[in-house]
Chain A
Amino acid sequence: MKASVYWGGIVLAAGVALGGCFGRGNTPVGRIVRVAAAADLQFAFDELARAFQTAHLGIGVRVSYGSSGTFYAQLANEAPFDLYLSADIDYPRRLIKQGKAVAESEFLYAVGQIVVWVPERSALDVPWRGINALLDPQVKKIAIANPQHAPYGRAAQAAMRHFGIYAQLQDRLVFGENIAQTAQFVESGAADVGVIALSLALAPAFRQRGCYAVVPLEAYPRIEQGGVILNWVQDRSAAELLRAFIIGTQGRAILAQYGFLLPQEAEALAR
């Protein structure tokens, strides 16, 4: 009897606790765009969002950075974001196929580049030797992002294959969970050299601490970064304004400053 009173009390308390949360979802005050952005955009997008908010007073931008794949899994479950900026155009396209976004909202905003990066203290002459510096016998460990799920890792692997040095280097590779962790492997000295995103090598925290050589674009499949506006967008006109800003003159200038190529530039360079 008393046990049933106890369990009844718990069910009631749970009901009250859950009830207290009804209707108090995350409805933002004022106009806001909720952005899920790939981790490699971290530095560029902070600046871009500031510029956008200055240009469009009254519209706020709330951004979460993370891995494109994690965001994809969350958006497939209708996570409350309005705009998705993926490091890989493939994820937004899959969301479109699943009916989570419309094809018209898809856009290409940048092409990523990879670089061979060493910390300042390294004796390796990366700027001069480029990717061949990886073959140096004093290089014990080479950090790249995990090619299984990180687009920059796939690009690094493809570039090594392109230059016919992958077989020689295979045993020396270590894999970071994402491009930032890969850079940390190298910066900490645990790996001697790494293949990371140019956007990271140009980031304020890394710019002073090492040097890099850009890997030629034709050595790896294009890292096409694309995005979509999700179907459950709260303020469609605000989200469209932000999208227009990113692919507009001002947004592109900021992205270029952080080492992202614009899709047309990549075409021109490849030719």
Chain B
Amino acid sequence: MTKTPSSASPSLYEDKRIISMPVRYLINIVAIAVFMLIGNLIISEGIINRTYTTILLQVGVYIILAVSLNISTGYLGQLPLGHAGFMAVGAYVGALAWKAMPHGLGYMIIGLIVAGIAAGIVGIIIGIPALRLRGDYLAILTLGFGEIIRIIIINLPDITGGTPGLLNIPKYSNFNVIFIFVILTCYIIHTMMKSRHGRAILSIRENEIAAEACGINTTYYKVMAFSVSAALAGVAGCLYGGLQGSLFPSAFGFMDSINILVMVVLGGMGSMIGSVLAASVLTALPAMLQFLASYRMVIYSVLLILVMIFKPSGLMGTYDFSLTGLIEKAIIKIRGGSKNNAKEGQANE
């Protein structure tokens, strides 16, 4: 998605659209359907047990969180440290809405939408003052807001249950729901970043002053990106509540925001596949490494430091994955080898 101009040479660009757009969509939809079928099969056939199923669902929630934080970190180029705060807003609003409404698929979706809107509104409220500041000050301000949200949740026990937690949340989040929302999130972000708005956001990351000089309303786009990121985090929080069945303020602390940021940076800022992979690995690995007991966090932190020292741009850099792109490359390689040789021959003459 964020191809730098240098990486896409003109000849490659010409060859890019050998698969027409409707076919591309079809390929992607088929791939998603196959994935979903496989996921359903391995869960219903009991190939993976309950523990691993829960880990798989958690991976889904963290993918949404990481990908949504990637909007404001990777694409907008800011450094927010309060993502868990938005997640908390969505989780609590969604859970309370679910508890207030009767059971049903429609009500579930209403709850998720309400959660997303609530987190998005909080995102706008926080974003307008925060985005006036630059760099590290923005980081600290969002950190402060995130902590304040958590303290408010602790200190309103009548509504949120306080420290003992909010219990008996309807467990809506099964594999299909989470899977669909992961795909939906990635799709929304992908299309947003391919649009005019996405390019405006990228231009702010590259050079804010130049973007402003080109007539881009930087404040508007910054707040927009920030609140979309917050709204998606709210949806993820709501799914998290539906997965756990209970919510505790301690799950939305400062370290949890950091944890999501680590996923984004480790995967490569501005790379969606990087965020997805890092979120999967970093969520699944600690759960799988239970047998290492207290050594596992030590190993985790050492790995984190080593990756940053040896690959500061993250594991994936800014590379982004495209299934149809891969297929196209394969086609070009198979049938285009002779054509390219002929072109080079002409150039040499």
Partners in one complex: no
